[in-house]
Structures are given as C-alpha cells and as structure tokens.
Amino acid sequence: MKKTILTKVEEKAKEFGNVEEVAKELKRVQSAKCRLKKQKGKSSYEKDMGEVLKQEQLLKEVRQLLEPKDKPVTKYSQSDVNQLDYDETIKAIRSIQSKKTLSKWLTTIEGDNDEFRNAEKIEKMLIARRETIKPVDENNVRKSEVQTIIDTIEESGKLSQEKIVELLKTLV
C-alpha cells in the first residue's frame, strides 16, 4: 500500500486530537470494511473497498503518530538494552521471561527452537544491564523515551516543527 502523505496524517491527528477518538474512528472504519467484505457482488465493491482501506491506513498512521509504539523486547539488540533504565530493564526482563516460558515447548524437545534461544540471549543481556544500573530519579528523562521520539520522526519522514515540539514536551 502507498505511503500516505504526511500532511494528511498531521491534519487528521489535529482533527481527532487524542488516541481514543482515533481508536473509535478506526473501529468504525474496520466495521464498515467487515460489512463490505460480505458484499463482493456489489458493482462498486472495488472502489468502496479501496476507499475504506485508504481510510484505515491513514487512521493507523495517525494512531502511530499520536502514540508511538516501543520496540518489542524480543527484537532488542545490545544497543537497545544499553539505553534502558532500571525500571524499563525490570519490565523487559519480565516480558522476555514470559516469552521464554511460552516458547519453551514449541518443539517436542524442551527449548529446542530459535525463538527460545533468542529469548535466552536477550534475557542474559537484560540481567547484565540490571546489574550495572540503579533506579532512575524522577527528574531525569529516559534515553528510551528520547529514542522513541527520534524513531517516530525518522519513520514519519518530515514532521512539522510544532509536532516535533509537541512530542518533545511530553518528556518534560
């Protein structure tokens, strides 16, 4: 699917204002898409489905802009682990231990799969990180929060200056 023009995404973000409104609209559009899927014989099906898919994609990009998602723990590299503070490290350790438990028996031999081995590797990195850091003072900004904003700016291409300032103000 084509990349949506950024100005449209920013305009829609201003129009909705918050993530809850975007979520409601996205749910409405997805319901319309579901109803439309049942009408494949309709003469304007292709055109209507195309419009609904464009709307859905635009809303997903608006949601991503308003509330950037963090990188999943299962895809962490050493550089990602090095940016975590104490609280985030503890949370990531719990998450990866859960992943280990869920992926332990994906094969007939316990722990004999790539998903489990990767989770063990990440867990070792996180535990080593936990040993080298201490809890964060509430007056400090977390590196991972700054990195999330940087990633959002890079993914979105050219954001307006006021949107960048708005994202940075969330850190203060």
Model-wide pTM > 0.75: no
Per-residue model confidence (pLDDT) at position 145: 78
Domain residue ranges in the chain: 1-67, 69-172
Query: Sign of the C-alpha dihedral, residues 30, 35, 40, 42?
Result: negative
Q: What are the tens digits of pLDDT across the range 126-155?
A: 999 998 987 766 667 777 778 887 887 777
Per-residue model confidence (pLDDT) at position 136: 63
Residue whose pair of structure tokens reads 């305009």 in the numeric block: 11
Which one, of 78, 71, 84, 74, lies nearest residue 130 by Cα?
Answer: 84
Percent of the chain at pLDDT exceeding 70: 92
Torsion of CA 82, 66, 140, 92, to 10 degrees: -40
Better-predicted residue by pLDDT, 134 or 29? 29
